[in-house]
Structure 1
Amino acid sequence: MTVLTPRTVQANDLVTQIFEGGAGNGPAVVLLHGGTPGLVPYAGGSHLWGALPETLARTRRVIAIDAAGSGGTPAGDGPLTVEVMARHAAAAVAAVADGPVHLVGHDLGGLVGALVALDQPGLLASLAIVASAAAAPSGDGVDNLTFLGAPEPASTRQAQFWAFDRMSYAHHHIDSTLLDGSVAAAESEAHRAVLRRMANPAAAAALTGSVLRAKFGLFRAAREAAFPVPTQIIAAAEDPLVSRDHMLWLFRIIAQHQPATQFHLINRSGSFPFREQPEAFLHVLTAFQDGLLAMAA
């Protein structure tokens, strides 16, 4: 197994933790993890990807970025919004890549990646949006109760297991590595600082409001003109946070004017298809990327 190396880079004045490794002839693959900092009971960070980065690094260069306010990356001093996270992600990509990259965004990372594509399309060779309630069209206004009754404190192994179990089709992927990484991320100063900030209702409202603003900005841009990069939508059949139908509508919105758009449904998976069905996920992800490389040759 290829091991990724951690290091830090400067991105929008934030000392940003990344993990990188592998090599290949095509564009690098950049991974943006999910999790809304301070607003969901699990702690985000590159550890969420599990074995995917190391597996991808066997055949291509891979870079996993800890988002602003997650893992080993602080949130900075200003309001934490999706736009701030997108500018940070774009700066991190520009700092570590020597050409356009395949950007893979899970959950909130999918919406962040879409903003990067709209604002700086030259950074990207493609975008994959994975199991992303943030990026998908909103539902009928009924509250999602997946995290209702989350145990406290959230930084314990038991609380982290509870959150991942609630999000999963089956619990087999919730291993000690995931729980150790989540507890470490929950206890990090970056995460604790975001928790303190999100205790202020105005700060929480700024972040949730930015999700809606970015989401509708994405839909408007995709309806008015071609989405600027080839895009892959990967949905999970049993995802409790976003239905396959909502992910399919996201595909339809982007595919209206962007012909290089694909939709894939991963069966027997909850919110983490790259962990719960790693072989199926790896196949559809790399097939899309390799197909684009072959078309460009």
Structure 2
Amino acid sequence: MLLLRDGLKIHADLLGARDRQVVCLVHSLGADGGMWAEQVPVLLEAGYAVLRIDLRGHGGSGAPPGPYAMQALGEDLAFVLRQLGLGPVHYVGLSLGGMSGQALALDHPSLLRSVVICDALPESLPNAAEIWSPRIRAVRAAGSCAPIAQATIERWLTPQFQAANPARWAEILATIAATDAEGYAGCAEAISAFTHVARLPSLAMPALILCGADDHAVPPAEGERIARLVPDGRFHAIPGARHLPNVEQPAAFNRILMDWLARSG
């Protein structure tokens, strides 16, 4: 479905009956709702409805000129949840989805039952400009994310995963390359200039923090930091995974997630 927020087109899809508890899944930078392919069938079979939202500049959502702000991304998410009127949802966000999800949870706690923050930062890294500026320049200069796609997927997934799952690797690589250049750049600028640290101790809901144990893009120490900052936070590192543990180790990820949802219902 498409929703319109102040001229911004936002794409979302809802699977399952509206009267079920809803799990809202939100993707990383350079991805879309398709990154949750390993979770959707499991959630539906367990009796949940699944809402996937494409952040601005990604998937089927519009890409206004950047820079974007993390709070604005959180407001986009709140808009979708209010428009659909699904009641409080369980929120699961990875990387950019986890950072914008923190903004959503802090600014609109009544919209959420619980929050799962995966492979995400609580604030911009001290060397954010050094990390992101070359990527932002590259995609804007090319008008495409193709120049950064290969390096990105190599940070996200291990060579072992590529060898065992070449078709899934190719799907994810193609999605990165096809992401709107301005959408990528605008969201990268949001990641470069935000902080939730002072507000996280006021988070008013249960929080599960997950991270791939071998994630070099967002080291597990950052997830542990979030878990220490929030009042009711739990941290799990998932062995054998880099930045996308939900894709690389779906059995472990899904087991932890389903246990969390059952206890947070």
TM-score (norm 1): 0.74
Q: 1:23 to 1:282 in 2, by over 3 A?
A: farther
Tell me how far 1:271 sits from its aligned partner. 0.2
Q: What is residue 38 of structure 1 aligned with on the other side?
A: none
User: Hey, what does 1:39 align to over in structure 2?
Assistant: none
**What secondary structure is seen at the aligned counterpart in 2 of 1:219?**
coil
* Distance of aligned partners of 1:291 and 1:26 in 2 relative to their CA distance in 1, 3 Å threshold: farther
Task: Report the number of matched residues.
Answer: 257
Identity of aligned residues (%): 21
Maintained 8 Å contact 1:50/1:178: no
1:288 aligns with 2:260: yes
- Is 1:164 matched with 2:153? yes
Match of residue 108, structure 2, among 101, 120, 123? 120
Instruction: Report the residue type matching 1:165 in the other structure.
Output: E
Corresponding residue SS for 2:75: helix
Change (3 A) 1:79 1:246: closer
1:102 to 90, 93, 110: 90
Number of the residue aligned with 1:4: none
Residues 53-92 of structure 1 deviation map (CA, whole Å, 9 limit, x = unaligned): 2332222100111100111101235742212211111111
Q: What is the RMSD computed on CA atoms of the aligned residues?
A: 3.3
Matches within 5 A, 1:234-249: 234-249=210-225
Does 2:198 match 1:220? yes
The 5 A counterparts of 1:62-211 are 62-76=50-64, 79-132=67-120, 134-135=121-122, 138=125, 155-156=145-146, 160-172=149-161, 175-177=166-168, 179-180=170-171, 182-183=173-174, 186-187=177-178, 191-194=180-183, 198=185, 208=189, 210-211=190-191
CA displacement at 1:170 relative to structure 2: 3.8
State the alpha-carbon separation in 1 of the partners of residues 260 and 130 from structure 2.
34
CA contact (8 A) 2:114 2:207 kept: yes
Gaps of 5+ in 2: none
Q: Give the match for residue 269 of structure 1.
A: 241
SS in 1 for 2:10: strand
CA distance in 1, matches of 2:109, 2:77: 13
Call closer, same or farther: CA 1:14–1:288 in 2, change over 3 Å: same
- Tell me by how many angstroms 1:124 deviates: 0.4
Q: Counterparts of 1:79 and 1:246 in 2: how far apart (Å)?
A: 24
Distance 2:222 2:178 in 1: 34
Whether the 8 Å contact between 1:66 and 1:72 is mirrored in structure 2 is yes
Q: 2:79 corresponds to which letter in structure 1?
A: A
Aligned partners of 2:145 and 2:181 also within 8 Å: no
Once residues 110 and 92 of structure 1 are traced to their aligned partners in structure 2, the CA distance between those partners, rounded to angstroms, is 16
Structure 2: how far apart are the matches of 1:24 and 1:54?
16
Asked if 1 retains the 8 angstrom alpha-carbon contact of 2:200 and 2:229, the reply is yes
Q: CA 1:178/1:58 → structure 2, altered by over 3 Å: closer, same or farther?
A: farther
Rounded Cα–Cα distance in structure 1 between residues aligned with 2:128 and 2:3: 40
Structure 1 residue 103: Cα displacement: 0.8
In the alignment, the residues of structure 2 paired with residue 78 and residue 159 of structure 1 have an alpha-carbon distance, to the nearest angstrom, of 18
Q: Hey, what's the Cα distance between the residues in 1 that align with 2:199 and 2:87?
A: 24
1:127 Cα deviation (Å)?
0.7
The 1-side partners of 2:181 and 2:145 are apart by 10
> Which of 205, 209, 221 does residue 233 from structure 1 map onto?
209
SS at match of 2:31: coil
Note the residue ranges of structure 1 that are not aligned, 5 or more in a row: 1-6, 36-42
Q: Which segment drifts farther, 18-27 or 123-132?
A: 18-27
2:43 match: 56
Q: Structure 1 pair 252/267, CA: closer, same or farther in 2 (3 Å)?
A: same
Tell me the SS of whatever aligns to 1:220: coil
Q: Look up the SS of the partner of 1:122 in the other structure.
A: helix
